[in-house]
Amino acid sequence: MLPLSVRRFLIFLLWFLTTGIFLLYGQEKSRVNILHADKLIIDRLKDTRKLAGQVRLQHEDVFMQCDSALIYESTNIVEAYSNVFLNQGDTVFLYGDYIHYDGNSEKAVVVGNVRLVDNESVLTTNKLNFDLQNNTGYYLTGGVIKDDDNILKSREGFYFSESKTYHYRGNVVITTPEYVIHADTLHYNTATNTTRFFGPTEIKGDSLFIYCERGWYDLDKDISKFSMNARLETKEHTVLGDTLYYDKHRKYGYGLGHVELTDTVKNIILKGNTAYYWEDPERTVITDSALFIQVGETDSLYLHADTLRSFPDISGKYRILSAYYGVWIYRTDLQGYCDSLAYNFADSVIRMNGSPVLWTEGNQLSADYMELFTRNSRPDRIEMFTHSFIISRQDSLHFNQIKGKNMIGYFRDNALYKIDVKGNGQTIYYPEDNGELIGFNKAESSNITILVNNNQISRITLLNKPNGILDPPEKPRPAEQKLKGFRWREMLRPKSREDVFK
């Protein structure tokens, strides 16, 4: 048998534990107190108290006012009716026609002409569920939030105090002095002052339209990022991309994935998978499948390169487009290749560097450097410098050739009709009669003028110290039928706009 002292200690310990547990689990929330009522009726059977006339109640730091109320003693629940007002500290001011308040859970349901007021905005709805202990709430029957400058409407709204976020979904509409925003779902974080968009979202302003299906906007830093079918439109430009990012303070932005920039005034489109933009001065760089499109009334010019850059010229009035590292050009009446080029919108001249070659109708033009002058998006003339060469196929075995130091070619209706050779001029061509070759003509002169009709040489004028021969077509050996430097590069010629990416 245990000693008496030990048994007393165990009995005391058992009493302490059981009493402590009883006290711990027997604790209840504080009761709702009546501060004032003009009329009070106590119903012992229903364990309720009915109050009427300027009712004022208190539960811890929560105060309520109403015209009448019903307090359920056993459950610590209050039902307040008519001109209901609930206040918690300096943060929560609730108004409505009816409130169901649970003193144990500190949760309230407000119904009818609901208004939630804070220092900066007012929420109006028909029914609001509010957790005063955790400072969270939500509405599911439509709500409107107004502040001094903005209005937000949504079918559902949720507020989470711990994360300091507001969630709105279902026909969300935000009206500000600058924009009107339509969204499926919108999250706003008061700590970071950041708004996030989910689902189809439209942002409309006087001169701006934005669409996306996912995105965010940092109001403090003025930084935005839009993704999933992102689209931005101004009066002069349209920008598309999988992701569009813009920093207003830095005046810098970028686009990633299927980026497309359209100048609706100049009818120009820039495409690529990566694009960078600087606003001051306005510059654009596009890489990864970069493509320039100049849209014409009946035809369009397609230009592909590793990198495209658009920037202002010295005057700042016009823009320059530069393309480098493998440039390919396609239009139905003009194709080309070079290492790099620059296009100045001031004079509409395309300057081609790095072994450029152009194909127009049946002619191949090449030189160390070229300048193609355009008018109304059509070739007007081409100036070729150093090792200039023009080749056109006569038939499967014979080629008409023009060679010289420099050349100027003139276009009419997109076809060459006149060529001036400046220095070291040489020609080989095959005259025809009724579609049959009648001779082999080889001529040399320092300067030569050549007239072309239907892509065939119709007349050659040797201007200085001419020297030429006319032989039967079968007489010269094959090696003699090609001028030095002859390179027929038809295999490189783009046959369609998709070929510029080959």
Task: Report in angstroms the alpha-carbon separations of 209 from 212, 238, 345, 494.
Answer: 10, 9, 28, 37
Assess contact for 147 and 119: CB atoms under 8 A: no
Assess contact for 78 and 86: CB atoms under 8 A: no
Q: What is the pTM of this model?
A: 0.78
Per-residue pLDDT 10s for the chain (502 aa) are 333 333 333 233 333 333 333 333 334 568 999 999 999 998 888 889 999 999 999 999 899 999 999 999 989 999 999 999 999 887 778 999 999 999 999 999 999 999 988 777 889 999 999 998 888 899 999 999 988 888 999 999 998 877 888 899 999 999 988 889 999 999 988 888 899 999 999 999 888 899 999 999 998 888 999 999 999 998 888 999 999 999 989 999 999 999 999 998 888 999 999 999 998 888 999 999 999 999 888 889 999 999 999 999 888 888 899 999 999 999 998 999 999 999 998 898 999 999 999 998 889 999 999 999 988 778 899 999 999 999 988 887 889 999 999 999 999 888 889 999 999 999 988 887 776 777 788 888 889 998 888 877 788 888 876 676 666 666 666 667 889 999 999 999 999 999 999 8
Q: How far apart are CA 227 and CA 401, in angstroms?
A: 54
pLDDT of residue 20: 37
pLDDT of residue 472: 66
Assess contact for 348 and 333: CB atoms under 8 A: no
Q: How far apart are CA 101 and CA 94, in angstroms?
A: 12
pLDDT of residue 153: 94
pLDDT of residue 259: 97
Instruction: Write out the DSSP string of 9-64.
Output: HHHHHHHHHHHHHHHHHH--PPPPEEEE-SEEEEETTTTEEEEEEEEEEEETTEEE
Q: What is the dihedral of CA 161, 164, 170, 174, to 10 degrees?
A: 130
Q: How far apart are CA 245 and CA 242, in angstroms?
A: 10
Secondary structure E strands in 176-234: 179-189, 194-205, 209-218, 223-233
- Backbone phi, then psi, for 492, in 5-degree steps? -85, -15
pLDDT of residue 479: 67
Q: Give Cβ neighbours of residue 279 (< 8 Å, ≥ 6 apart).
A: 251, 252, 253
Assess contact for 254 and 274: CB atoms under 8 A: yes
Residue 332 DSSP SS3: coil
Q: What is the DSSP letter of 442?
A: E
Q: How far apart are CA 328 and CA 498, in angstroms?
A: 10
pLDDT of residue 369: 97
Tokens of 278: 């600087």
